[in-house]
């Protein structure tokens, strides 16, 4: 998995990438893995190890990483926006609606 990219897409089904270095808002990140190519302009600063959206993810839909659902969005997330606990919720190990 040789890459020069500053972010990794793990599975072709994923709608998020993981930053492997800290990235500033406004930076254009090139992606060249798992069928994703081209550049994404970041709308937020992304701390190292955090995720950003590869495409718009509508409110109430699945965030996909490792090719699997890791939670649902609580707000619509734009392409290039930070994806984390402020806009994603887990549906496991708790009462629905909690």
Partner 1 sequence: MEFMGYRRTNGKVGVRNHVLVIPSVVCSQGAAEAITRNVKGTIYLPNVFGCAQVGADREQTKRALAGFGTNPNIFAVLVVGNGCENLSAKELAEAIQPSGKRVEYIEIQEVGGTKKTTSKGRKIIKEMLADAAKLQREPIPVSELILGTECGGSDYTSGLGSNPSVGAASDLLVEGGGTVILSETTELIGAEHLLAKRARTPEIGKQVLDLIAWWETEAIRTGQDIRGANPAPGNIAGGITTLEEKSLGCIYKGGTKALEEVIQYAFPPTKKGLVLMDTPGHDIDQLTGMMAGGSQIAVFTTGRGTPTGSPIAPVIKITANAGTYKKMKDNIDINVSQVVQGKETVKEAGKRIFDEIIAVASGKLSKAEKLGQRDFCIFKIGLNF
Q: Which residues of the chain form contacts with partner 1 (CB under 8 A)?
A: 1-4, 8, 10, 18, 20, 47-51, 63, 65-66, 68-71, 83-85, 88-95, 98
- Within 8 A by CB and 6+ apart from 11, the residues are 34, 64, 65, 66, 67
Nearest to 83 by CA among 67, 94, 72: 72
- Per DSSP, 33 falls in state B
Give the nearer residue to partner 1 in terms of CB position, either 26 or 49: 49
Least spacing, CB of residue 28 vs partner 1, in Å: 20
Give the nearer residue to partner 1 in terms of CB position, either 16 or 40: 16
Least spacing, CB of residue 45 vs partner 1, in Å: 13
What distance in Å separates the CA atoms of residue 64 and residue 14, rounded to the nearest whole number?
5
Least spacing, CB of residue 14 vs partner 1, in Å: 11
Structure tokens at 24: 């500033």
């Amino acid at each position: 998995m040789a890459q020069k990219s500053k972010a990794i897409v793990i599975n072709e089904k994923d709608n998020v990438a993981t930053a492997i270095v800290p990235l500033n808002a406004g930076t254009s990140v090139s992606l060249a893995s798992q069928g994703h190519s081209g550049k994404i302009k970041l709308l937020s600063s992304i701390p190292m190890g955090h995720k950003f959206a590869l495409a718009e993810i509508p409110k109430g839909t699945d965030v996909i990483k490792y090719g699997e659902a890791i939670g649902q969005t609580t707000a619509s997330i734009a392409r290039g926006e930070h994806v984390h606990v402020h806009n994603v919720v887990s549906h496991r190990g708790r009462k629905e609606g909690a």
